[in-house]
A and B are shown apart, each in its own frame.
Chain A
Amino acid sequence: MRLATLILALLTLSACVPKNVQVVQPLPDELLGQLDVQNVTVSYSQLAQDRIQKIDLERKVEGEKSSEPELVSYKPLSTVLADITKNRLEQRDEDSQRFVDIKIEIDNLKLVNPVAAVLIGDVDQLSGSVKAVDSATGETVTECYVDVINGSGGLLGLAIRGAGAREKISAQFSDFIGDHLGYKKLDVR
């Protein structure tokens, strides 16, 4: 019995249905696809800050001692997610006069434990609150909660998942933001 399969079954059977985007404050119809993103900032909520900052610090120390390019160029999740989101939203948004800043507050980043993935299955997860605030007034234009969960069971799952899991799940996270803002789809996701 694989734990990941069981978790997914339980999620399906429970009274809640997992949604990738949960709308907290809807975006008015007339603003769909009409917001021009200026800045993206990422912070960690109290649920996440200790765990994620600990991982970031450990990787930074490893990078200072190592000569491996991947470790030397390691960036914290807040930087990776902010850069990817800004980049992907810029590719999708239209020119508009309604300037907004995107504020992301991450609650959870969980990456697959390779040993657990081979033995019983495991998941990657990135979740957090997203607010689009008016750049001029600071007023919240829309708010949603994004939860990306990717199953990765067994050796095959790990092989398909490959490297750069943080970057991949960050790209998915930012695509859900773009969908919520009503942006046009990218040709290749």
Chain B
Amino acid sequence: MKKNIVSILPLIIFLSACTYNIEGAKDNIAQTPAFLVERSKLNINLIGDEKANHKSTVLGVVCSAHSYNVMIGDDLKKSLSDIDVDAVLQSSSKSDIIVSLDSASSNIKCLYLGVASGECLGEVTLKGSVTKGASVPKVFKIEKTVLEKSLTCEGAVSSVKRASQMVAEDLIEIVKSYDK
């Protein structure tokens, strides 16, 4: 009986319900301290950030009682505003960079593997385009998948959070290399 209770407890945790707000995609991205940056008159503008905030789709039973709100649009807004524009844009540049987010989606798949053992796979997809002035928009589709081992559905949170960070890093690289 005692063994059964030990087996069941993690399962109950996996099946219980709560809501997670997944933010902080920019946490691990290296940034230049604001006081060191003399702000350019040019900007990197972000369009559609509200559209990119979304609720994750949980596939399968495990962790499906939870709700995961992925605030990737808000995170990208912060990350892009921290980029040193003068270091990114060519000195001859006269146009702002416009990053337009068309859609973002994510899904979570978790497995309960027995006593005190579980795994979650978080997949994040971001679609949009980057434009400068009258140039043809560069369309991007970034997809990242992260596997996390966890005793609880926190594994779902951390896998999607890490995948979001990787998506944000890739987008920032696309923006930074726009003029190169």
Q: Which residues of A contact B (CB under 8 A)?
A: 1, 3, 6-7, 10-11, 14-16, 18, 22, 24, 45-47, 107-108, 120, 127, 129, 145, 147
Q: Residues of B contacting A10 with CB < 8 Å? A: 8, 11-12, 15
Secondary structure at the A interface, as helix, strand, loop or mixed, is mixed
User: Do A14 and B17 form a contact, CB below 8 Å, given A1-B4, A107-B109?
Assistant: yes
A107 touching B60 by the CB < 8 A rule?
yes
Q: Residues of A contacting B65 with CB < 8 Å? A: 14-16
A14 touching B16 by the CB < 8 A rule?
yes
Q: Can you list 6 contacts pairing A with B, beta carbon distance less than 8 Å?
A: A10-B12, A18-B61, A45-B121, A47-B111, A145-B59, A147-B60
A107 touching B107 by the CB < 8 A rule?
no
Q: Which residues of B contact A (CB under 8 A)?
A: 1, 4, 7-8, 11-12, 15-17, 57, 59-61, 64-65, 107, 109, 111, 119, 121, 145, 147
User: Which of A3, A16, A147 is the one whose CB lies under 8 Å from B4?
Assistant: A3
Q: Residues of B contacting A15 with CB < 8 Å? A: 15-17, 65
Max chain A C-beta neighbours (<10 A), residue from B1, B8, B11, B109: B109
The docked-state distance in angstroms from the alpha carbon of A14 to that of B4 is: 18
Tally of contacts, chain A with chain B, CB under 8 A = 56
Q: Residues of B contacting A7 with CB < 8 Å? A: 11
Q: Residues of A contacting B145 with CB < 8 Å? A: 46
B64 touching A16 by the CB < 8 A rule?
yes
A6 touching B4 by the CB < 8 A rule?
yes
The docked-state distance in angstroms from the alpha carbon of A120 to that of B15 is: 21
The docked-state distance in angstroms from the alpha carbon of A135 to that of B137 is: 28
A47 touching B59 by the CB < 8 A rule?
no
Shortest A45–chain B CB gap in Å is 6
User: Which of B15, B57, B121 is the one whose CB lies under 8 Å from A14?
Assistant: B15
Q: Which residue of B lies closest to A127 (CB)?
A: B60
Shortest B56–chain A CB gap in Å is 12
User: Do A145 and B60 form a contact, CB below 8 Å, given A1-B1, A3-B4, A15-B17?
Assistant: yes
Max chain A C-beta neighbours (<10 A), residue from B1, B7, B111: B111
Q: Residues of B contacting A6 with CB < 8 Å? A: 4, 8
A46 touching B147 by the CB < 8 A rule?
yes
Shortest A105–chain B CB gap in Å is 10
Shortest A102–chain B CB gap in Å is 17
